[in-house]
Amino acid sequence: MRQSSRIQYIGDVALMKPMQAGNRNPVVLIHGIDDTAAIFHKMAPYLYLHGWQVYSLDLKPNNGDIGLDRLAQQVADFVDRTFAPDQKIDLVGFSMGGIIGRYYVQRLGGIDRVDRFITIASPHHGTWTAYFRPNIGASQMRRGSLFLADLNRDAEMLDRLNFTSIWTPLDLMIVPAASSQMPVGKCVQIPVSGHAWMVTDSRSLQAIAAALAEPLQAIAFTN
């Protein structure tokens, strides 16, 4: 029987909440540059119909005019005001949202709140396309940026949770596309033919749901 569900709005935050979510953690979705929570118009319903409480928020500004560290603080503030202190969460970040999620996990204490963390087409090692935008957020996502070098310096801490990086070799926004891979956790390659389609393609949605359903344990890196 399909679960009944309800959608609530808390300011700029959309909450999709199944009436029965079992023992699953709530899931927080983090969008990418120039996006809003609306980018998850397929992912959020897909997840809540499969039994997850789904939360998303609009980061402001969303165009990279402030640093990703400050956007990560918005995520931290949202988590703190939305969930009880002992409530564990799962985190899904798309593109820039994956890097914001990493800063939250690695620098703002999220490592103690997050059980499962999934990044989708995120420039973990930078992207050449970030040079087309001359602002601080984009500069932090450039190849060889000090911001990414700092996060990658202790990326092994992500092994403390269930970490999954999902990427496509056909990505024309993350250049080179392999920048979306990480040498920790589980790496999932899906041959989706467009960056934005990574949050709507059925194969991506299935991979995300599978990663969220993983039992809490160490996940081996796979090619």
Could you report the per-residue pLDDT of 70-79, keeping only the tens digit for each?
999 999 999 9
**For residue 35, is it within any domain?**
yes
Instruction: Tell me the whole-structure pTM to 2 decimals.
Output: 0.88
Residue percentage of the chain with pLDDT more than 70: 87
The H or E element spanning position 163 is: strand 162-167
CATH number at residue 202: 3.40.50.1820
Number of structural domains (the chain) is: 1
Alpha carbons 164 and 211: distance in angstroms, whole number: 7
Alpha carbons 123 and 153: distance in angstroms, whole number: 15
Alpha carbons 121 and 190: distance in angstroms, whole number: 10
Kindly report the number of other CB atoms within 10 A of residue 217's CB atom. 7
**For residue 113, is it within any domain?**
yes
Is residue 10 classed as helix, strand or coil in its secondary structure? strand
**For residue 223, is it within any domain?**
no
**What are the two backbone dihedrals, phi and then psi, of residue 120, each rounded to the nearest 5 degrees?**
-125, 115
Is pLDDT at 202 greater than 70 in this prediction? yes
Alpha carbons 37 and 62: distance in angstroms, whole number: 11
Taking residues 43-58, what's their average pLDDT?
Answer: 97
Alpha helices in the chain (DSSP H): 43-49, 68-82, 96-107, 136-139, 146-153, 202-213
Which of 65, 70, 73, 79 has the alpha carbon at shortest distance from 29? Answer: 79
**For residue 134, is it within any domain?**
yes
Is pLDDT at 4 greater than 50 in this prediction? no
**For residue 200, is it within any domain?**
yes
Q: In terms of residue numbers, what domain contains 203?
A: 5-213
**pLDDT tens by residue, 103-142:** 999 999 999 999 999 999 999 999 999 999 999 999 999 9
Is pLDDT at 18 greater than 70 in this prediction? no
Which of 1, 98, 43, 200 has the alpha carbon at shortest distance from 14? Answer: 43
Give residue 23's pLDDT: 83
**For residue 220, is it within any domain?**
no
Q: Is 17 in contact with 82 (CB distance < 8 Å)?
A: no
**For residue 9, is it within any domain?**
yes
According to DSSP, the β-strands at 54-56 and 89-94 are unpaired
